[in-house]
Amino acid sequence: MRSSVILPTLVLTWALAACSGGPATPTALPFAVTVFHAGTGTPPGGASAPPPATSAPAPAAPVYGPDSFPENVNPLTGQVSEAAKINRLPVAVKISNFPFAVRPQSGLSLADVVFEHQAEEGLTRFTAIFLQNDAARIGSIRSARFIDTEIAPAFGALLVTSGSSIGTMAHLRANAYFSGDNVWRLVSEETHYACPPLCRAVPDDSNTLFASTTDVRAATAAHGSGQRADLSGFQFTANAPAGGTPVDKVFVDFSQSAHVDWRYNIGSGRWQRWQDETLGGGFIAHFDSLTNQPLSAANVVVLYASHVNNYVPEDPADVTICGLEIQLWTVGPARVFRDGKMYDGHWQRDAATKWKLKIKDEAGNPIPFKAGNTWFDIVGLNASSALGGSTFNVTNRVTDTRYGCPVQPTATPTETPFGYVAPPETETPTPVQ
């Protein structure tokens, strides 16, 4: 008869001998090992299998913003950067997109944030904000628009522009952010800045004005050196929020003359920008002539805002063409595109946000951006939107300002000085279809 034989428990103490001349490695704690003969049963109360090893939980992905940021994190991109590069004033540069001859532009790929908006008659223009990166050549630089009295103060930025129409320049100068002793924030030929920082490649050619961030900062150093702007407003997360609608293409029809096609590249995790090659022609990848890199964005945001006639002639060749007041204050619908998904929400910019631009979901929580640069495309409140498959289409309805513009500028319908509260008659945002 075979009986079970249990060997005595062996207690093994592991120790590592110290290397010659070096400190000894700490001895591991002893553990018990019970050995059984093959074929014997496990005795009652015998040893059980050791519990599976547990690993430490993965650290939570960092969340930056919207109200505070570490000293080494850029509040405009959510990226870690040298403190010296973000402890300075942003530079907002007005960049042309029409005529087609101004393309490809210089420096757009290095901007932290870009706003694209209608100028007049459906043509678009950019306000590009530079903080983290320096650009040796930016342009071509053209004239400002009413919306720049909203964008520049919201980001505490210098505004670099070739100048403006009589009415728009008066509007800028009336804004407390630029008026009086603050006029240095308005870097323009009309405020007596010369080369450098504003250098024209071809005399008397309105499409050949360029600047560099280094020259702009040097020209304004006596006023703005060492200042860090309040750049709160955006939130950034490494992981995309839960939910969202899969979208891999965003087509924005600004007008019959201006179309933008954002195409998501799953490999890079970025949106690549395409736009009209010629009037009525096909699309071409938009690239930067300074870096020779295609333009892309970590985030694309479509903002819906009220557009009204500002009764200021903006076309020197046709004084019957007025410009626009794009009312980027109070609230309006917004859609955020990141990581191949679309998130519905709204934008808010008012006294409650300290006049910073914030993007929220319908519950009032921030919609976080992906770390990197962001492009904002601004369309009217009455723009129509539709999702077809994985393509999101936006069709803007161009505000007709041609037949209401006097030869001489008149008072604008609503003034928007720094800190201004929108009047009751401001159009109330309606849900986007």
Q: What is the pLDDT of residues 254-306, one digit of tens each?
A: 999 999 999 999 999 999 999 999 887 899 999 999 999 999 999 999 999 99
Name 130's bridge partners.
91
Measured between alpha carbons, how far is 288 from 387 in angstroms, rounded to an integer? 30
What are residue 296's phi and psi, to 5 degrees?
A: -150, 170
Measured between alpha carbons, how far is 134 from 423 in angstroms, rounded to an integer? 39
**Residue 231: count of CB within 10 angstroms of its CB:** 23
User: In the structure, what pLDDT confidence band is assigned to residue 410 with cuts at 50, 70 and 90?
Assistant: low
User: In the structure, what pLDDT confidence band is assigned to residue 55 with cuts at 50, 70 and 90?
Assistant: low
Q: What is the mean pLDDT of residues 392-419?
A: 75
**Burial of 30 from C-beta contacts in 10 A (0-12 / 13-18 / 19+):** exposed
- More confident: 278 or 20: 278
What is residue 431's predicted lDDT score, i.e. its pLDDT? 46
Measured between alpha carbons, how far is 128 from 111 in angstroms, rounded to an integer? 6
Strands 374-380 and 113-118: parallel
Q: Is 3.30.530.20 the CATH classification of the domain at 234-404? A: no
Q: What contacts 40, CB < 8 A, 6 or more positions away?
A: 4, 5, 6
What is residue 16's predicted lDDT score, i.e. its pLDDT? 32
- 216 and 193 Cβ atoms separated by less than 8 Å: no
Indicate the DSSP class of residue 371.
S
What is residue 119's predicted lDDT score, i.e. its pLDDT? 93
Alpha helices in 58-147 (DSSP H): 83-86
**Residue 32: count of CB within 10 angstroms of its CB:** 9
Indicate the DSSP class of residue 158.
E
pLDDT at residue 43 tops 60: no
Alpha helices in 253-354 (DSSP H): none
User: In the structure, what pLDDT confidence band is assigned to residue 25 with cuts at 50, 70 and 90?
Assistant: very low
Express as a percent the part of the chain with pLDDT over 70. Answer: 80
What is residue 417's predicted lDDT score, i.e. its pLDDT? 42
User: In the structure, what pLDDT confidence band is assigned to residue 74 with cuts at 50, 70 and 90?
Assistant: very high
- 396 and 121 Cβ atoms separated by less than 8 Å: no
Measured between alpha carbons, how far is 376 from 126 in angstroms, rounded to an integer? 10
Q: What is the mean pLDDT of residues 6-10?
A: 36
Least confident of 27-41, 50-64, 318-332: 27-41
What is residue 54's predicted lDDT score, i.e. its pLDDT? 56
What is residue 260's predicted lDDT score, i.e. its pLDDT? 97
Q: Residue holding tokens 């053209």?
A: 142
What are residue 279's phi and psi, to 5 degrees?
A: -65, 120
Least confident of 24-28, 163-167, 309-313: 24-28
What is residue 411's predicted lDDT score, i.e. its pLDDT? 67
Amino acid making up residue 428: T
pLDDT at residue 345 tops 70: yes
User: In the structure, what pLDDT confidence band is assigned to residue 315 with cuts at 50, 70 and 90?
Assistant: confident
- 153 and 355 Cβ atoms separated by less than 8 Å: yes
Alpha helices in 243-299 (DSSP H): none
User: In the structure, what pLDDT confidence band is assigned to residue 409 with cuts at 50, 70 and 90?
Assistant: low
What are the tens digits of pLDDT across the range 161-188? 998 999 999 999 999 999 999 999 999 9
Output the CATH code of domain 78-224. Answer: 3.50.90.10
What's the pTM value of the predicted model, to 2 decimals? Answer: 0.82
User: In the structure, what pLDDT confidence band is assigned to residue 23 with cuts at 50, 70 and 90?
Assistant: very low
Q: What is the mean pLDDT of residues 92-104?
A: 96
Name 141's bridge partners.
95
What are the tens digits of pLDDT across the range 198-248? 999 998 888 999 999 999 999 999 997 767 789 999 999 999 999 999 999
What is residue 26's predicted lDDT score, i.e. its pLDDT? 38
| Dihedral of the alpha carbons of 175, 176, 181, 182, in degrees to the nearest 10 | -70
Amino acid making up residue 175: N
What is residue 35's predicted lDDT score, i.e. its pLDDT? 31
What is residue 228's predicted lDDT score, i.e. its pLDDT? 79
Max Cα distance, the chain (Å)? 118
Q: What is the mean pLDDT of residues 377-388?
A: 96
Using alpha carbons, select from 122, 140, 123 the residue that is nearest to residue 290: 140
Q: Residue holding tokens 């240095």?
A: 184
Measured between alpha carbons, how far is 287 from 279 in angstroms, rounded to an integer? 18
CATH 3.50.90.10 range(s) for the chain read 78-224, 234-404
Indicate the DSSP class of residue 339.
T
Q: What contacts 347, CB < 8 A, 6 or more positions away?
A: 303, 305, 331, 332, 333, 334, 357, 358, 359, 360
Number of H helices, E strands in the chain: 5, 26
| Dihedral of the alpha carbons of 329, 335, 340, 341, in degrees to the nearest 10 | 130
pLDDT at residue 382 tops 90: yes
Least confident of 15-29, 118-132, 260-274, 395-409: 15-29
Measured between alpha carbons, how far is 319 from 204 in angstroms, rounded to an integer? 20
Tokens of 37: 């003969």
What is residue 65's predicted lDDT score, i.e. its pLDDT? 95
pLDDT, the chain, mean: 84
Express as a percent the part of the chain with pLDDT over 90. Answer: 70
What are residue 252's phi and psi, to 5 degrees?
A: -115, 115
Would you call the peptide bond into 196 cis, given omega within 30 degrees of 0 as the criterion? Answer: yes
User: In the structure, what pLDDT confidence band is assigned to residue 412 with cuts at 50, 70 and 90?
Assistant: low
What is residue 320's predicted lDDT score, i.e. its pLDDT? 86
